[in-house]
């Protein structure tokens, strides 16, 4: 049997499908994913998948670092993005 290396995503983030590009980039950066002004990963590998149906579609971003350890420094403001939620406390998306 072959030895398989399994590498889980370093960061996983779900964002609403209808988010603006600038808000999406700000959310990726605040989560610690190094992206340029177009939303492309500047290091590692960024996998994006759209999930859900109808009004509940989301983009799931999975970022895989090139190495295990601290993420590379990114010049971004450190203000976190607010999380939309329903009255029950579950995410709105």
* Three-class secondary structure of residue 85 per DSSP: strand
In the chain, domain spans: 11-64
Mean pLDDT of 9-27: 94
Handedness of CA 61, 67, 68, 71 (dihedral sign): negative
Mean pLDDT score of the chain: 79
Query: Which pLDDT band, with edges at 50, 70 and 90, does 55 fall under?
Result: confident
Task: Indicate the pTM of the whole model.
Answer: 0.64
Please say if the pLDDT value at position 80 is more than 70: no
Q: Report the pLDDT value the prediction gives residue 66, as an integer from 0 to 100.
A: 83
**Cα 45 from Cα 20, distance rounded (Å):** 22
pLDDT tens per residue across span 27-54? 999 999 999 999 999 999 999 999 888 8
> 74 Cβ partners below 8 Å, 6+ apart?
29, 32, 34, 42
**Cα 63 from Cα 33, distance rounded (Å):** 7
């Amino acid at each position: 049997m072959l030895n398989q290396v399994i590498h889980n995503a370093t960061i996983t983030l779900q964002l609403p499908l209808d988010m603006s590009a600038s808000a999406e980039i700000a959310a990726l950066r605040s989560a610690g994913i190094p992206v340029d002004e177009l939303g492309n990963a500047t290091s590692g590998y960024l996998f994006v998948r759209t999930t859900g149906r109808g009004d509940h579609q989301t983009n799931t971003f999975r970022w895989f670092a090139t190495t295990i350890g601290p993420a590379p420094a990114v010049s971004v403001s450190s203000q976190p993005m607010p999380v939309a939620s329903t009255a029950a406390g579950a995410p709105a998306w």
